[in-house]
Amino acid sequence: MRYDYLIVGAGFAGAVMAERLASQLNKKVLLVEKRNHIAGNAYDEYDEYGILVHRYGPHIFHTNSKEVFDYLSQFTEWIQYEHKVLAKIGNELYPIPINRITINKLYNLNLKTDEEVKEYFESVKEKRFPILNSEDIIVNQVGKDLFEKFFKHYTKKQWNLEAKELSPSVCGRIPVRTNDDCRYFTDKYQFMPKEGYTKMFEKLLNHKNIEVILDTDYKSILDSIKFDKMIYTGPIDYFFDYKFGKLQYRSIRFEFKNHRIDSYQETSHINFVDKEVPYTRITEHKKLSGQINDSTTISIEYPQNEGEPFYPIPTEENRNQYLLYKKETEKLNNVIFCGRLAEYQYYNMDQVVANTLKVFESKFK
């Protein structure tokens, strides 16, 4: 059989592109995925205790884009969910992002207004100019002590690099607040898919023009299938057979444990910012889905270098290496590179969807 498009990778970029091409342009699509499941890192499933777990860490949907929300709403119902994260220092828990409650509890203060918190930050921050790295961006906002307590060791554990070795975008993703808003995100749309992400992907890909092959490296079938164009969402360095060397990614090892108790921790997600704790965070999964169950499953995250590529490591050197690959893509007319791994870019889920819809509109409409 001949396909109009071969799409490599069944995460958000690949699945959204497949759905658009099939439903809007009536194109025949073959979607090839090397793992044994669809949904990429958003994959979730019920464990042996009946709890819906996110196998590759917590995926929290949030967006300010009505277009992205309306698009995905065709494939799932939603449940309301506002993500709250606590950071553990010693035996105490503090809201993160840093806000008025964090400051008051940590320093035994009684700041009552946004203005007072602003003044506090003004009094402790260090002027850094220009902002060259992740340490600069935080110290410039909240000073050295808060940086060392909440960011320094966590960042080192997460990336195996000091904050000053990382681009400002890493720590710059986390806001600093002067109010007492304890939500991790402030986006307009904050929900979780009612039946989970995998079910949403099943509906996305449920189209007569889409064929899905799992457990298959696309390179192993290139000679045996006919197609007109390729959309590639896998690692860009793998596509080019690592001709400029391997791009660096940070991976995570997950340790899942079930406890025969109703609740394991105060919120779905606790960050461990102390140097002595070897893991970065613990997620209690039923608190993400609102499930009722007489036991609870947690996952403990240990960042590592080997394993599935999760996070592109944003250093100047890695960026330059990626640009060598990017230049190669410009020589190809029948391949479109799209998504987190193909663009060596840390995107949130809604950003991947928005970007893929944009690529579809610009290239195919």
How many residues does the structure list for the chain?
365
| Residue 171: per-residue pLDDT | 87
Helix (H) or strand (E) holding 125: none
- Indicate whether 119 belongs to any domain: yes
Q: Do 13 and 160 lie in a common domain?
A: no
As a whole number of angstroms, the distance between CA 248 and CA 165 comes to 14
Q: Do 153 and 7 lie in a common domain?
A: no
Domain boundary among 148, 172, 196: 172
Q: Do 221 and 337 lie in a common domain?
A: yes
As a whole number of angstroms, the distance between CA 92 and CA 303 comes to 23
- Indicate whether 186 belongs to any domain: no
The residues pairing with 96 across neighbouring beta strands, listed in sequence order, are 85
- Indicate whether 20 belongs to any domain: yes
β-bridge pairing 78-80 and 29-32: unpaired
Q: What angle, rounded to 10 degrees, do the helices at 12-25 and 349-364 form? A: 40
As a whole number of angstroms, the distance between CA 298 and CA 229 comes to 42
Identify the domain containing residue 212 by its residue range.
Answer: 2-38+205-248+312-364
Q: Do 168 and 209 lie in a common domain?
A: no
Query: Which residues touch 123 (CB under 8 Å, ≥6 apart)?
Result: none
| Residue 141: per-residue pLDDT | 95
The residues pairing with 102 across neighbouring beta strands, listed in sequence order, are none
- Indicate whether 343 belongs to any domain: yes
Q: Do 241 and 343 lie in a common domain?
A: yes
Q: Do 27 and 145 lie in a common domain?
A: no
42 phi, psi to nearest 5 deg: -85, 0
| Residue 14: per-residue pLDDT | 98
Domains of the chain: total: 2
CATH number for the domain harbouring residue 21: 3.40.50.720
Q: Do 119 and 225 lie in a common domain?
A: no
For the chain, the distance separating the N- and C-terminal CA atoms, rounded to the nearest angstrom, is 25
Q: Do 162 and 102 lie in a common domain?
A: yes
Q: Do 240 and 323 lie in a common domain?
A: yes
What's the pLDDT tens digit per position in 102-140?
999 999 999 999 999 999 999 999 999 999 999 999 999
- Indicate whether 117 belongs to any domain: yes
Low-confidence residues in the chain, pLDDT < 70 = none
- Indicate whether 120 belongs to any domain: yes
Q: Do 146 and 221 lie in a common domain?
A: no
Q: Do 316 and 229 lie in a common domain?
A: yes
- Indicate whether 222 belongs to any domain: yes
| Residue 239: per-residue pLDDT | 98
Q: Give the 3-state secondary structure of the chain.
A: CEEEEEEECCCHHHHHHHHHHHHHHCCCEEEECCCCCCCHHHCEEECCCCCEEECCCCCCEEECCHHHHHHHCCCCCEEECCCEEEEEECCEEEEECCCHHHHHHHHCCCCCCHHHHHHHHHHHCCCCCCCCCHHHHHHHHHHHHHHHHHHHHHHHHHHCCCHHHCCCHHHHCCCCCCCCCCECCCCCEEEEECCCHHHHHHHHCCCCCEEEECCCCHHHCCCCCEEEEEEECCCHHHHCCCCCCCCCEEEEEEEEEEECCCCCCCCCEEEECCCCCCCCEEEECHHHHCCCCCCEEEEEEEEECCCCCCEECCCHHHHHHHHHHHHHHCCCCCEEECCCCCCCCCCCHHHHHHHHHHHHHHHHC
Q: Do 16 and 165 lie in a common domain?
A: no
Name the pTM for this structure: 0.96
Domain boundary among 172, 195, 218: 172
268 phi, psi to nearest 5 deg: -65, -20
| Residue 228: per-residue pLDDT | 96
- Indicate whether 335 belongs to any domain: yes
